[in-house]
Amino acid sequence: MSKVTSMATRDFKIELDDVSFFQGMIGTLAGTLEEVVGLEDAASFVGVVGGKIGDDLASQYVAELQGQPPNAEVLGTILVHMKSRIGGTFRIETFDEDEIVLVNSRCPFAEQVKGRPSLCMMTTNVFGRIVATANGYAHVEIEEAIATGHPVSGAGSPVASGKCKWL
């Protein structure tokens, strides 16, 4: 039997933690899907996953609200809260009785989202399921996306915007 060498017990100084590993895994998975099956099918696949995650999150927020129907401001706050819990930086820009406009300066997928627009289906479907659970219908549009290289603000942060609408 061999003895353990100092090299075997060394703490390697590499950029690796659980968050960056999973961001890299999701980014690589999305990029591979886009290359192999095409953007449309990759987005559909990511959308199905987002729908399932959205259903689960919607039920958790409904339980937290204890049967109180959320208004647009509360719905916007829920969406911002959910994204902040997973590393996104969203804020409510405007809202009225049938529309919420959100702005994002950091995607939870970090740098891995750039050039991988299929990952935007995760946001649209999760947001859509949460809003539709509350209102019966949702239409989510991402008008500008970090994934597609939309411009950087003067402060150096990418800014993406989108709308959640319902009838």
Q: Is residue 6 part of a domain?
A: no
Q: Is residue 11 part of a domain?
A: no
Structural domain range at position 36: 18-165
Using CB atoms within 10 Å of the CB of residue 92, give its burial: 0 to 12 exposed, 13 to 18 middle, 19+ buried. Answer: middle
Q: Is residue 123 part of a domain?
A: yes
Q: Is residue 5 part of a domain?
A: no
Q: Is residue 3 part of a domain?
A: no
How many independent structural domains does the chain possess?
Answer: 1
Q: Is residue 109 part of a domain?
A: yes
User: What does the chain come to in residues?
Assistant: 167
List, in sequence order, every residue forming a beta bridge with 139; answer none if it has no partner.
165
Q: Is residue 4 part of a domain?
A: no
Q: Which CATH number goes with the domain that contains 130?
A: 3.30.1380.20
Distance of alpha carbon 34 from alpha carbon 42, whole angstroms: 5
Summarised one tens digit per residue, pLDDT across range 149-161 is 886 454 545 566 6
H helical segments located in 38-119: 39-65, 72-85
Summarised one tens digit per residue, pLDDT across range 114-164 is 999 999 999 999 999 999 999 899 999 988 888 888 864 545 455 666 666
Distance of alpha carbon 108 from alpha carbon 122, whole angstroms: 11
Q: Is residue 132 part of a domain?
A: yes
